[in-house]
Amino acid sequence: MRLVKFLAHGGVASRRRAEEIIAKGVVTVGGEVVTDPARDVGEGDDVRVNGAPVGVEAREVWVVNKPAGVVSTAREPGSRPAVVELVRTNARLYPVGRLDADSTGLLLLTNDGELANQLTHPRYEVPKTYRVRLRAPLADRDLERLRRGVELEDGPTAPAQARRLGEREIEVVLREGRNRQVRRMLEAIGNEVTALRRIAFGPLALGELKEGEARRLSEDEVAHLRKAAD
């Protein structure tokens, strides 16, 4: 198994983040610093990150209904709570993508780096569904602009599914995951998001999970997530 995949399976980080960790020179195999993410390692090898041993954990995937004010990181250096603190497990979990601190709703946590990569990589186009409250009513022409794609400072967005739920409420489905994308799209067409809640990630819906609560996904639910990313 390649070193980057070993770290991901060990719950250290996603594969992309594991590559960054390896490049920093803080990973050792058998006491030797390794900076090649393609280095082959096995379960019997002594792999460490910053001196801490890494082993392959049992795979866990959790869904959290993230409250506002909770940050989507594995650890938060400041005073705000981190989303991993909402889950009771000994596994080293990290978020699959992010929701900004002001946003709420469905966030996945896992120690399965391969699954995390599949669910967040743009080429897999796994849909994410949001309920959005707006500062001002949205004109039909602006709703159509969201559907066609909006020009942002980092390039045009892909077409989105968008439908009206009320005078100042819409539902938006995205298949890409740029930073604060929904908020930026609405700003680009002259509106403003006052509340943002993710209600689905691929086939997984938030359902009746209460704000601040978490539950571990069943094997069938995880299988459906994998299928959505195929």
For the whole model, what pTM was predicted? 0.78
* Residue listed under structure tokens 């497990």: 89
Give residue 177's domain range: 127-201
Eight-class DSSP state of 122 = G
Q: What is the pLDDT of residue 74?
A: 72
Half-sphere exposure of 56 (CA within 13 A, CB side): 12
If asked whether residues 83 and 143 sit together in one domain, one would say no
Measured CA angle at 75 (ends 228, 100), to 5 deg: 55
Residues 168 and 210 in one domain: no
CA distance 16 to 195: 30
Give the CATH number of the domain where residue 32 resides.
Answer: 3.10.290.10
Q: What is the pLDDT of residue 109?
A: 96
Do 221 and 113 belong together in one domain? yes
Q: Are residues 100 and 193 in the same domain?
A: no
The model's pLDDT over 130-178, given as tens digits with 9 standing for 90+, comes to 999 999 999 999 999 999 999 999 999 999 999 999 999 999 999 998 8
100: annotated active-site residue = yes
Catalytic residue from among 46, 100, 102, 154: 100
| Mode of pairing for the β-strands spanning 151-152 and 47-49 | unpaired
Per-residue confidence in pLDDT tens, the chain, 230 aa: 889 988 887 778 878 889 999 999 999 999 999 999 999 987 778 999 999 888 767 789 999 999 999 999 876 566 788 999 999 998 889 899 889 999 999 999 998 888 888 898 888 889 999 999 999 999 999 999 999 999 999 999 999 999 999 999 999 999 998 889 999 999 999 999 999 999 999 999 999 999 999 999 999 999 999 999 87
What is the predicted pLDDT for the residue at 229? 84
Together in a domain, 223 and 187: no
Residue 89 belongs to domain with CATH number: 3.30.70.580
Count of other CB atoms within 10 angstroms of residue 222: 18
Domain count, the chain: 3
10 with 110, same domain? Answer: no
156 and 136 inside one domain: yes
| Same domain assignment for residues 145 and 194 | yes
Same domain, 142 and 197: yes
Where residue 184 sits, what CATH number does that domain have? 3.30.70.1560
Distance CA 188, CA 30 (A): 52
* Kind of pairing between the strands at 52-53 and 32-33: unpaired
Can you give the pLDDT at residue 19? 92
Indicate if 115 and 139 belong to the same structural domain. no
Does 208 lie in the same domain as 117?
Answer: yes
Same domain, 195 and 218: no
Q: Domain end: 19, 36, 53, which one?
A: 53
Residue 108 burial (CB count, 10 A): 22
